[in-house]
Homo-oligomer: A and B are copies of this chain.
Amino acid sequence: MDTLTERQETILALIIHDYVETGEAIGSKTLAERYGLGVSTATVRNDMAALTQAGLVRQLHTSGGRTPTEDGYRYFVRRLLTETELPSDEKRLISHQFYQARADVDEWVRLAASVLAQHSRAASLVTPPHSPRAGFKHLELISTQGRQVLMVIVLLGGDVRQQMLTLAETFDQAQLSHTAERITASCVGKDAEGVAAQGAAFDELGRELIRLIADVMSRADAVSGGEIYHDGLANVLAQRDFAQSESARHALRLLEERSFLEEILAKALSPGIGSVQVLIGGEGGWEELRDCSMVLARYGAAGYATGAVGVLGPTRMAYGRTISAVRYVAGLMSDLMVEAFAG
C-alpha cells in the first residue's frame, strides 16, 4: 500500500468523523462542502479513489458514498487520532466521584463501569483488581445460619475469594474458627498444589475445605477473579442500526458469558499497564465481535493486583472520546490502587 498524502489522510479522517456522527455514507461533494476543504470535488474524488484502492474506505453501492473499512478505522486510530484528553473539568468531576467512594474497592469498580459507559456512550466492562499466581494467605470461616457457612479466602496479592457453602452438618463458630486457623497455619504461602497437598493432615471437614480452597485458587489465575462488572448496555442499544443486527445480540450474549470475556481480556492485555489497546471489528479472530470494537486497558499496581477496564461498542464508534476516557479511568484506578495497597 502506498503511503497517503496529507490531504488523503485528512479526507479519511473526515469520512470517519462524518460517518461516526451521522451513520451515513458520504460522497465527494457533500464532504467538500460540509468541511470547506479548499479543493474541488474532483480532487476529493481522486483522493477517495486512492483510499478505496488502499482498502481504507469502501463503496457499498456503485454510486453511493464511501464508508470506512475496518482497516480504515485502524489506520485512523493508529496514525491519525490526535491524542485527545478529557476536558479538565470532566476529569475533576470523575476523580472527585472516585475519592468520594474512598473506602470501597468494589465501589470503585462499579463507578469505573458507570463513568466509562457514560463518557463513551457504549457498554463498559471492568474487572476487579486481581493478582495472578498468588499464594494462600488466610482462611476465614463464618457461620451464618444452619449449615450455611461463608468461606473467605485471602491470597497474598490481596485477592479475596468467597463462597457460600452448605456443610454436611452444623458447626458452631468456635469450631469453624479453630479449623480455619489450623488450615491457615499449615497452608500459608503455598500455591494451589501446595495447599492441596496439606489435605491428608486433616479430618473430613478439613479435607473438604482444602479441596475447595485449592479449587478456588486454581480457578483464580484467570484475568478476572470474580464478577466482571458492566454498565451501559442500554447505550449500545440506542444505536439505531446496531440494535437491529445480529451483532448486537452476539455482543450482549458475550457480556453475559464470563468465559469469553476472560479469554479476550487475557489476549488483549498482554502489553501491560497503561497502554490502551484498541480491537477493531473483532480483530484477532473473535467472530462473535464482528461489527464491534473494544477499547481496553490494564490498570493496577504492578506486582500487586491489576485489572482491566474497557469499552465495547459498535465499530462505528467515537474512538477519540472513548480512548481518552479509558486511558483516564485506567490511570485513575491505578493511582488509587497504588495508594491503597501500598499503605
Contacts and interface: CB of A to CB of B under 8 A. Distances in A.
A152 B142 contact: yes
Interface residues of A, number: 52
Contacts of A127: none
A340 interface: yes
A104 interface: yes
Interface stretch (A3-11, A64-72, A195-203, A242-250): A242-250
Given A152-B150, A163-B106, A234-B256, A138 B145 contact: no
Interface of A: 102-106, 137-138, 140, 142-148, 150, 152, 154, 156-160, 162-167, 169-170, 173, 212, 231-234, 237-238, 243-244, 248-249, 252-253, 256, 304-305, 340-343
A145 B305 contact: yes
Contacts of A154: 142-144, 150
B234 A243 contact: no
Interface residues of A, dominant DSSP: mixed
A148 to B, nearest CB: 6
B146 A158 contact: yes
Which 4 pairs of residues, A with B, have the shortest CB-CB distance? A145-B158, A146-B343, A147-B343, A146-B341
A105 B249 CA distance: 29
Nearest to A338: B146
Given A158-B144, A165-B104, A243 B233 contact: no
A143 B154 CA distance: 8
Contacts of A212: 103
B234 A146 contact: no
A143 B150 contact: no
A159 B144 contact: yes
